[in-house]
Structure 1
Amino acid sequence: MAKDKAPAIQVKSYPTHHVITQPNPLKKVLSRAEEKDLDDPVARAEAALAGLSGEFKSWMDTEAERLTKAYAAVLKTGFDDDACEEMFRAAHDIKGDAATFGYPAAAEVADSLCRIIEHAPDLDKVPAELFEHHVNAVQAIVHDHTRYHSPTVAAELSRRLRRVADDYLIQVNRNRPEHLEAILAPSLVPSDLP
């Protein structure tokens, strides 16, 4: 059985350089699909999301309630490791899911809350109102999401909470430059806010 002869390497010479083109060995194993048989995984994913979109409100209600319960546990027991971890995880889950579920302002508020938990040197010294405002903002954004004016109100609310949280974190971390760098970095949370 004779092996196929490998195509030759092509060399094009120019006055200042040479271009060497190697043949693609994968060309012979590549198969082409007909246009009608093309699969579009992005379209399939979008169709699946559209099918689930009716559940998004319920899921966000559940996540917002989880954050509220975690905050209630913090109020009851203080910032012990378990309560702090649960509150952070609840906020972090909202941060990750809210934009996908159509609640980008809730994602930004949850991101701000996560930043407070991550970067405050002593959570017991953080003004309780700062936590309370974040938790209440998530609840308000999730529950009032369908009102006509709510996207602009939610956007302004999330921006102000982030500004207040950042101002607080900058103040309490003025002697901790490794935290200041993270605090001053822009958010990675996707935003569709006006």
Structure 2
Amino acid sequence: MADTAKDQNYEILSPPGDLRSKVRELTPREAKKFDPVKAAEDAMHRLSQHFGAWMDNETRALTSAWEAVQAEGMSEETLATLFQAAHNIKGQALTLGFPLVGEAAASFCHLIETVPSPAALPLDLTERYVEAIRAMVKEGARDDANRTGVQLLETLKTVTGDFLAQFPPKPDDV
């Protein structure tokens, strides 16, 4: 049994280069004028023109995962792919300017995480989530200003809550 580092086989990896060589140091005059918050805001503004396309890509991944469920059936594998796609949307939606879509994806993730097995996940409700998220992104339902999106989300949450009420909470959830 190897108890010390000396007894174990290992390799120390060193980074190939010093990152300081990749950046230019600001002169004192430039440093006084530099506003890191403004620079970050400017960068976000430049990137924001791509946010809709990025959300479209995430939505396509979710739709593709749903199509795999329809073609192959609900299994641990297809459910994991579907969950990952919804989870990615949940995590990125706020940053990309789609908080309402993020809430829908969060509710969908909650549904997937709460059902006791893949077979217990209702396919009709799953399809409603996928289609709602797709429609919200396509129609630009970004936030609470979109009443139709808000109503759709509220309906999905209500139906999800009613469905999940049939399952007793897990001991670690109490």
Q: Which has the higher helix share?
A: 2
- Amino acid across the alignment from 1:178: D
Structure 1 residue 99: Cα displacement? 1.5
What residue is the counterpart of 1:145 in the other structure? 140
CA distance in 1, matches of 2:128, 2:34: 46
What residue is the counterpart of 2:122 in the other structure? 127
Query: TM-score normalized by structure 1?
Result: 0.67
CA distance in 1, matches of 2:77, 2:38: 41
CA distance in 1, matches of 2:138, 2:86: 16
CA displacement 1:75-108 (0-9 Å, x = unmatched): 2222323212211111011001112212111101
Query: TM-score normalized by structure 2?
Result: 0.74
CA distance in 2, matches of 1:150, 1:133: 21
Task: Tell me the C-alpha RMSD between the 2 structures.
Answer: 2.5
What residue is the counterpart of 2:113 in the other structure? 118
Structure 1 residue 175: Cα displacement? 5.1
- For the pair 1:66 / 2:77, whether they are aligned, the reply is no
Distance 1:167 1:38, change over 3 A: farther
Q: Which has the higher strand share?
A: 1
Match of 1:95 among 90, 109, 126: 90
CA displacement 1:39-60 (0-9 Å, x = unmatched): 4333222211110111111111
Deviates more, 1:96-105 or 1:62-71: 96-105
CA distance in 2, matches of 1:91, 1:146: 17
Structure 1 residue 68: Cα displacement? 0.5
What residue is the counterpart of 1:10 in the other structure? none
Tell me if structure 1 keeps the 8 A contact 2:66–2:130: yes
Structure 1 residue 165: Cα displacement? 1.3
Distance 1:157 1:67, change over 3 A: same
CA distance in 2, matches of 1:69, 1:104: 22
What residue is the counterpart of 1:176 in the other structure? 170
What residue is the counterpart of 1:26 in the other structure? none
Query: How many residues end up aligned between the 2 structures?
Result: 146
Indicate the percent of aligned positions where both proteins have the same amino acid: 36
CA distance in 2, matches of 1:170, 1:177: 15
Tell me if structure 1 keeps the 8 A contact 2:100–2:141: no
**Largest Rg, 1 or 2:** 1
CA distance in 2, matches of 1:90, 1:123: 16
- Amino acid across the alignment from 2:58: E
CA distance in 2, matches of 1:175, 1:93: 26
Matches of residues 1-194 of structure 1 in structure 2 within 5 Å?
Answer: 37=32, 39-145=34-140, 151-172=146-167, 174=168, 176-179=170-173, 181=174
Distance 1:41 1:164, change over 3 A: farther
